[in-house]
């Protein structure tokens, strides 16, 4: 059996994170390459929306990632509070900026998609509004992190906030949908695309896989930086960096 707890030490995780980060970056580039070919050339032009719909291949994966990363971040936060493991908190810290980026991209691409299809950049649709609030939640976690000097205290404060936020996300989503059904004007109907061509679905799934690999790669690279920042002065790190410096000269 693999001893998973061995990996929870920054010392043993640091080199693994580096290797995995590299592997997932390559994978992300390959998947994005294939996905974009499917998205831009193979997938048929939509009958009603023309080529404008093609932004869906960025929009949907980023929107999914934005929600999913928050859940993963809350999961790592719960581990950090439950087991008091440093690395879990570092993972949660590393996930927040990527999650915020995904939420921002989802909103941005949503606005660009909304302009040609609904005639407006912003429509206070239930999904847009809850993604906006999700972005605020991410920014809150990042801001709280930077406002607390002591990293270990910041770890635990952010963990509590992430968990409280995760409990609230479904409530926020439900309340925004509730509000939206009462207030939605009749001009804009935002029901899902009727029937999606197979190649469109394939493009979305491949691009989602690429977004996954990108997120894993970037988060692991960020965890490495966090380890270097926090463990500066630790013997194992100095020897590792000295060895790297010698390798390059």
Partner 1 sequence: MSDVDASPSTAIVWALARDVRVALRSKGELGVQLLFYVIVVSLFPLATSPSRELLATLGPGVLWTTALLASLLSLPRLFAADFGDGTLEQMALSPRPLAALVSGKIAAHWLTTGLPVVVMAPLLGAQYALVAPVLGTLTLSLLLGTPILSLLGAVGAALTLGARGGGSLLALLVLPLYAPVLIFGAGAVDAVRAGLSATPHLSLLGAGLLIALVAVPFAVAAAVRIALD
d(CA 227, CA 248): 22
Q: Indicate the burial class of 124 (C-beta count within 10 angstroms; 0-12, 13-18, 19 or more).
A: middle
Asked if 174 interacts with partner 1 (CB under 8 A), we say yes
Smallest separation (angstroms) from partner 1 to the CB of 125: 15
CB of 232 to partner 1, least distance (A): 22
* Shortest distance, position 50 Cβ to partner 1, whole Å: 35
Among the listed residues 8, 12, 49, 175, the single contact to partner 1 using CB under 8 A: 175
Query: How many CB atoms are located within 10 Å of the residue 61 CB?
Result: 28
- Residues 66-95 as x/- pattern, contact with partner 1 by CB under 8 A: ---------------x--------------
Q: Measure Cα distances from 153 to 86, 137, 144, 145, 232 in Å.
A: 11, 19, 11, 9, 18
Q: Which residues contact 8 (CB under 8 A, 6 or more apart)?
A: 83, 85, 87, 88
CA–CA distance, 236 with 108 (Å, rounded to integer): 43
* Residue 142: CB minimum distance to partner 1, A: 9
184 binds partner 1 (CB under 8 A): no
Number of residues that bind partner 1 (CB under 8 A): 31
Q: Among 8-16, 24-32, 171-179, 227-235, which window interacts with partner 1 (CB under 8 A)?
A: 171-179
- Please identify, using beta-carbon distances, which residue of 60 and 137 lies nearer to partner 1: 137
**179 binding partner 1? (CB under 8 A):** yes
Residues in contact with partner 1, shown as a per-residue x/- string from 119 to 158 under the rule CB under 8 A: --------------x--xx-xx--xx--xxxx-xx--xx-
- Inter-residue long-range contacts of 156-161, CB under 8 Å, 24+ positions, other chains counted: 156/80, 156/81, 156/89, 158/77, 158/89, 158/92, 158/93, 158/96, 159/77, 159/78, 159/80, 159/81, 159/89, 159/92, 160/77, 160/81
Binding residues for partner 1, rule: CB under 8 A, are 81, 133, 136-137, 139-140, 143-144, 147-150, 152-153, 156-157, 160-161, 163-165, 167-168, 171-172, 174-176, 178-179, 182
């Amino acid at each position: 059996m693999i001893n998973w707890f061995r990996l929870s030490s920054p010392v043993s995780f640091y080199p693994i994170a580096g290797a995995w980060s590299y592997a997932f970056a390559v994978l992300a580039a390959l998947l994005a390459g294939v996905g974009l070919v499917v998205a831009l050339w193979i997938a048929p032009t939509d009958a009603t929306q023309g080529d404008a719909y093609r932004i869906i291949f960025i929009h949907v994966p980023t929107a999914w990632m934005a929600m999913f990363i928050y859940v993963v971040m809350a999961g790592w936060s719960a581990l950090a509070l439950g087991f008091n493991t440093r690395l879990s908190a570092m993972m949660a810290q590393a996930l927040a900026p990527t999650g915020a980026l995904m939420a921002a991209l989802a909103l941005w691409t949503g606005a660009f998609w909304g302009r040609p299809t609904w005639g407006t950049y912003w429509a206070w649709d239930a999904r847009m509004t809850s993604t906006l609030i999700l972005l605020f939640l991410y920014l809150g976690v990042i801001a709280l992190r930077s406002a607390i000097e002591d990293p270990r205290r910041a770890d635990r404060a952010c963990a509590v906030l992430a968990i409280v936020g995760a409990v609230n996300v479904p409530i926020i989503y439900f309340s925004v949908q509730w509000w939206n059904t009462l207030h939605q004007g009749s001009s804009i109907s935002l029901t899902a695309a009727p029937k999606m061509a197979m190649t469109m679905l394939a493009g979305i799934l491949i691009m989602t896989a690429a977004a996954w690999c990108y997120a894993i790669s970037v988060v692991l690279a960020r965890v490495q930086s966090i380890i270097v920042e926090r463990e500066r002065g630790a013997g194992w790190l100095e020897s590792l960096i000295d060895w790297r410096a010698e390798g390059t000269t």
